[in-house]
Structure 1
Amino acid sequence: MTCDIFKLATPGVQGLHPYQPGKPIEELEREYGIKNVIKLASNENPLGPSPVVLEAIRSNLKDISRYPDGNGFNLKKALAQKYGIEMDMITLGNGSNDVLELIARAFVTPTQSVVFSEYAFAVYPIVTQAIGAKAIVTPAKNWGHDLVAMQAAIREDTRLVFIANPNNPTGTWINQSSLKNFLETVPATVLVTVDEAYFEYAVENPVYPNTLEWLAFYPNLIITRTFSKAYGLAGLRVGYSISHPEVAHLLNRVRQPFNVNSLALSAATAALSDNQYIEKSVAFNFAGMQKLIQAFDEMKLPYIDSACNFVSVDVGRPVSEIYEKLLREGVIVRPVGNYGMPQHLRISIGTETENQKLIAALKKILT
């Protein structure tokens, strides 16, 4: 008996292409036979995890034969105390990507539409297409979200809007007044998810929105955040959303049991207590960013001002050849042609040594 398995999949899944993560160091070293490779492709924290986090993981290793707390009580309590919110406003996820998918699955049907911006995070079109919904992609403005265009794109069948603030892969961000004006204009039946994965790097800007203050006024607002970036826990996969309790209750109906593992729960809980680590991470990132943009200025390479832990730089030509040559120099960065940016490389901020190696390699290749 023969069967075309592909045709058994839903139409949305048939048209999908898997998300492509950054190239692993081990894979490059194996393929090219080189050593001392650096990876500046996945926006990871170059400082590694906090010592407080490592101690929490060691303390909980003995219990990994048991299921984790499916409700994540300790982590929710720590988040609630840190941000002055109620625990029933929190939904935990296996990274914030998990929560983004939960939102789409819980609220959007194949007969409805989802609005997001050009150059926005790749997960938005993936989850939209996977559930069979209509994607409405609005043109970007200066590489960032054009909220006027996004508001105009909302239709009667629109149920969800995704906004990344700051945005990946461009690093652009939306100020407080613009985002609040947008929320004022959105129908109450349209959920607005503000994806704040890079929140910790942008929050010191005085006009960056404090969206938590708005939850009492906009029950259709959902805020998503992660421990993968500034907190240095990308390998453990833990994120969360903060929303109206009724929204959180519905998200928890579709959330998989035990979707956050026990080590991730203990590590994230400990990480929230280490304010010194976050301050160090943000300062370290700022210093590294200044080094890179100074070098880009010297090389006369245009770049997009970034509020994140990466910067997207325009190399003035299709990046495939330059990307390949950087790999041969032992430097992994991220080409973002899949976002419609064929001349840009997204480069994560690394350690001082890693940043210098990237700059030297890029200068060598371009000259």
Structure 2
Amino acid sequence: MTHTAKGSARREQEKEEEVVLDFSTLKWQGARLDPIKEHLVNQIDLISKAPGDSSARIARLLSRRLEIDEDELLITDGGDGAVRLIADAHRGARSLILPPTGMEFRQALHHAGHEVTEAPEGTQLSDLVTDGIDFVWLSVPNNPDGKVYRHRDLLSLLKKHPDTTIIVDLSMRKYVLEETLKESDIQKYPNLVVLSSFSRAYNLAGLCVGYICARPDFINGLREDYVPTGISSLALEAVHYVLVHPASFTIPIRKWLRDARLLAKEIDKIEGFESKLSDAPFFLVECSSPAQQVAEYLLKEHHILVGTAAKGIDIHGNEIRIAPLPHQAENDALIEGLRGWAEADHATL
């Protein structure tokens, strides 16, 4: 890398380190983490211990919580690790995705050499054609646009295509009010595989702990060559804390959704921006200018980060993705930033 390129990369990193308000992440940033931090400090000696039986202990506790059997559950190196594990175990398979979709799906399928088919954007689940398809990959709510597939449509999909494995990421299930699938549904639908993690809904992305729920033979096929070396004893202790203290990680979802609606309403008042509100507490905003220009302005002038295609999000070049922050003053700062862009007449550049 040249000195010029290094300098540019360093300046970009310094900018991001100055970010005060991050609207780009899908993590619930209102989580109260002080109690779990204090607990982990008291358990710091675990850093010198191998995970050992800790993973099995978590599997027992988690399977009871999810109302499934232990042989229907596999602890993984995070949610992305779960996606990669399935993709790698079925290298060269034929997969169907519904754009826009999570980049973790795209990257894992590409790396594992899957033959990927993309349904036309906006395709309904009832219209999917799965002839010759091994896997369909979905998330509820959908990342990145927040679309929520109706529960009855997901059940119809499972019944209509029994020979196709339907993989559903439920890591953000707590972000919606509507009834949706649950892990124990794998016992009713043998073609269902559920993924989840403790990253976004718990704001514990640094743990890198996720899990897969599926019929025992599917789990056994993954377990044969898999050792979750990326999961530490301290991370497993954190998961144990989460499972024992679920009330500490309750998301005020009605308030978050209400904040999203209010934020979208204010954004729509600003010339050059149109929100695409979803049923989840994050949504896309269409910009009359290139989204990356808007994002760079917000970062430089207001220390605000928003999601764009340049950040590896599967959206169009004129869209940004945002999720409201827990406090009104923070959301007001985003509105002021967008107004600043519009008032400076950037939209005409």
State the TM-score, normalized to the length of structure 1: 0.82
Q: Of 57, 62, 72, which aligns to 1:89?
A: 72
Shift of 1:219: 1.3
Shift of 1:221: 0.8
Query: Measured at CA, do residues 70 and 359 of structure 1 come closer, stay the same or move farther in structure 2, by a change above 3 Å?
Result: farther
Query: Measured at CA, do residues 175 and 364 of structure 1 come closer, stay the same or move farther in structure 2, by a change above 3 Å?
Result: same
Deviations 1:211-248 (A, max 9, x none): 33532222121111111111110122111121112222
Instruction: Give the paired residue count.
Output: 330
Deviations 1:149-201 (A, max 9, x none): 43x1x233x2211011111110001011111111112142x221011121111
Query: Measured at CA, do residues 307 and 62 of structure 1 come closer, stay the same or move farther in structure 2, by a change above 3 Å?
Result: farther
Q: Of 88, 97, 101, which aligns to 1:116?
A: 97
Query: Measured at CA, do residues 191 and 131 of structure 1 come closer, stay the same or move farther in structure 2, by a change above 3 Å?
Result: same
Shift of 1:49: 4.7
Q: Which residue does the alignment assign to 2:174? A: 200
Q: Of 275, 282, 288, which aligns to 1:316?
A: 288
Alpha-carbon contact 1:224-1:239 (below 8 Å) kept: yes
Distance in 2 separating the partners of 1:348 and 1:263: 29
Distance in 1 separating the partners of 2:306 and 2:248: 25
Shift of 1:63: 1.7
The 3-state SS of whatever aligns with 2:268 is: helix
- Of all paired residues, the percent bearing the same amino acid is 21
The 3-state SS of whatever aligns with 2:317 is: coil
Distance in 2 separating the partners of 1:240 and 1:319: 34
Q: Which residue does the alignment assign to 1:302? A: 274
Deviates more, 1:237-246 or 1:347-356: 347-356
Q: Of 304, 310, 322, which aligns to 1:331?
A: 304
Alpha-carbon contact 1:42-1:348 (below 8 Å) kept: yes
1:125-136 alignment to 2 at 5 Å?
Answer: 125-136=106-117
For structure 1, list consecutive stretches of 5 or more residues without a partner in the other structure.
1-23
Query: Measured at CA, do residues 311 and 340 of structure 1 come closer, stay the same or move farther in structure 2, by a change above 3 Å?
Result: closer
2:217 matches 1:254: no
For structure 2, list consecutive stretches of 5 or more residues without a partner in the other structure.
1-8, 344-349
Q: Which residue does the alignment assign to 1:155? A: 131
2:15 matches 1:41: no
Query: Measured at CA, do residues 355 and 78 of structure 1 come closer, stay the same or move farther in structure 2, by a change above 3 Å?
Result: farther
Query: Measured at CA, do residues 290 and 174 of structure 1 come closer, stay the same or move farther in structure 2, by a change above 3 Å?
Result: same
Distance in 1 separating the partners of 2:315 and 2:34: 39
Deviates more, 1:40-49 or 1:223-232: 40-49
Query: Measured at CA, do residues 272 and 71 of structure 1 come closer, stay the same or move farther in structure 2, by a change above 3 Å?
Result: closer
Task: In structure 1, give the amino acid aligned to 2:14.
Answer: R
Distance in 2 separating the partners of 1:31 and 1:184: 49
Q: Of 140, 148, 156, which aligns to 1:173?
A: 148
Q: CA RMSD in A?
A: 2.5
Alpha-carbon contact 2:72-2:216 (below 8 Å) kept: yes
Shift of 1:58: 1.8
The 3-state SS of whatever aligns with 1:349 is: coil
Alpha-carbon contact 1:171-1:304 (below 8 Å) kept: no
